[in-house]
Structure 1
């Protein structure tokens, strides 16, 4: 097994990557997983799965059925490669399509993470909420100001409780010829709440 730990935060370099498909970085991923408050046996949906890094982390934590959705075929292929690499493919359904078309066809689950909305945040959040079990957790991540605004509005208009908004700004070390410097990554906003 590539990742023999109970804790999330698989090293980014362990994932298969391509230049055109985004990956949620390990530090941010760890916080997202903690906001989902997962238990073994929890089912989940990963909307906008990208490289599949969050899908893999959820699968390792829950050992239950996970649905990974992305509208980009390259992302779907990469997610499948990463799930195979980490031995978590058997309990995962990888679905190529738009979230607003796929979500209505899925069963209810215990946790949903939304990492991409293609500009239809409000609609996707409402559909996600309709697929979330009572007591389930919804987590939305964004780096775009427009999505942040739409996610905030959708969360406030929902019946979610314990709504939390966290901004994460991470800097990672990089060796230079004269020492070590810190390189900042994009700030990420994480919205979370309980149904």
Structure 2
């Protein structure tokens, strides 16, 4: 008889380690055969007999470690604070299934930080600076009343303070809460101008409280539309001008992709990056990977991303499907160029798409439509198809005439979970 596989328990811990845990949580960790976690978390668990294994910082690699740990009878993963509040638990549950895990939370350091400064947090903008574009976070802070931020090595409190001051956002009182719950806990109150020159322990939470009666600083991103920007707003190589995904087609495709603020998006065959850039404006807390083999177009993606102020676009030089292996699993995929490997690219991309994710494919020829449609039908039961023909009105003297743009085809699918998983 096959032995049933146990769940992996995800346990939240504070900076005081075992001493601050409940008796039941402490017993689960003490009896574990395998203990996964970040090195800083594992260092708080000296004296336990379980084999400690540092979790890889690269999430696909960490996912493989967790899959291996699930085969153990008593496996535990330790995570700081509440593992479901900007912790690893959500990522694992989304990819491996909620029924594979049990979550035992600790008090979140964010909750502790607000308690230390005696402010409520139910109406605050809460986020983490780790893996998120600084510009998008700053723009959300601009209109907030209260802010709670998990700092990161790349974006410590002093760098965020300088970014805010550079944009004229000087109307917050700041608190930096370090090593919460540990003997060397410290809470520092400062003006942003002072904070910009101060250093803090990496384990910190930054709280910003808006000063009374201070108006918002205007956003500097008002000249661009969220999506559907005119084609000529994007830099393009002259021989390829006109081959950009047209504004109207981009708008339909982005609507079909159902991009959320924290989505991971792939743009395969990105060209000058028009779809990637507008996807990044929608996924302002996420990341967009623009896959493009032509070096000249990779440079254009970088230039257009800088022009639009979207630092969460990451150009990926190379051809699909080879370069896809290095990317995190996407929530949405746009395929605008596949070369001669259309079948292989679509199959590889669909295989990596997260369950419930959307993929849109833009093709311009009848042969390309037939191949893409047949491939997608072999992958999923329902494929949506559009023939998009658009004519734009142009004023000529005192009349309006319509100039047709090249007709194109758009296909879209949703990835349904594999019932056999």
How high is the TM-score relative to the length of structure 2? 0.44
Q: Deviations over 1:119-154 (max 9, x none)?
A: 211100011012100000011000022211110011
Q: Deviations over 1:29-88 (max 9, x none)?
A: 100101101111011000000111100110000111111011111111111111010111
* Number of residue equivalences: 192
Residue 78 (structure 1) aligned to one of 287, 300, 304: 300
- The answer for the alignment partner of 1:39 in structure 2 is 260
CA contact (8 A) 1:3 1:10 kept: no
Matched, 1:191 2:386: no
- SS of the residue corresponding to residue 94 of structure 1 reads strand
> Following TM superposition, by how much is the alpha carbon of 1:20 offset from its aligned partner in structure 2, in angstroms?
2.7
User: CA–CA distance in 1 between the matches of 2:238 and 2:373?
Assistant: 30
Q: CA RMSD in A?
A: 1.5
User: CA–CA distance in 2 between the matches of 1:74 and 1:17?
Assistant: 10
User: CA–CA distance in 2 between the matches of 1:83 and 1:47?
Assistant: 16
> Following TM superposition, by how much is the alpha carbon of 1:162 offset from its aligned partner in structure 2, in angstroms?
4.1
> Following TM superposition, by how much is the alpha carbon of 1:92 offset from its aligned partner in structure 2, in angstroms?
2.1
In structure 2, the gaps of 5 or more residues are: 1-220, 416-421
User: CA–CA distance in 1 between the matches of 2:222 and 2:340?
Assistant: 35
Higher strand share: 1
- SS of the residue corresponding to residue 186 of structure 1 reads coil
User: CA–CA distance in 1 between the matches of 2:306 and 2:408?
Assistant: 28
- SS of the residue corresponding to residue 262 of structure 2 reads coil
Task: Specify whether residues 121 and 3 from structure 1 end up closer, same or farther in structure 2 by C-alpha distance, changes over 3 A only.
Answer: farther
> Following TM superposition, by how much is the alpha carbon of 1:177 offset from its aligned partner in structure 2, in angstroms?
3.6
Q: Deviations over 1:74-130 (max 9, x none)?
A: 111111111010111x22220111112111221211000000010211100011012
Matched, 1:149 2:357: no
Alignment of 1:21-100 (within 5 A): 21=240, 22-63=243-284, 64-88=286-310, 90-100=311-321
Matched, 1:117 2:342: no
CA contact (8 A) 1:46 1:68 kept: yes
CA contact (8 A) 1:71 1:97 kept: yes
Q: Which has the higher contact order (CA 8 A, sep 6+)?
A: 1
CA contact (8 A) 1:104 1:127 kept: no
How high is the TM-score relative to the length of structure 1? 0.93
Matched, 1:171 2:391: yes
In structure 1, the gaps of 5 or more residues are: none
- SS of the residue corresponding to residue 331 of structure 2 reads strand
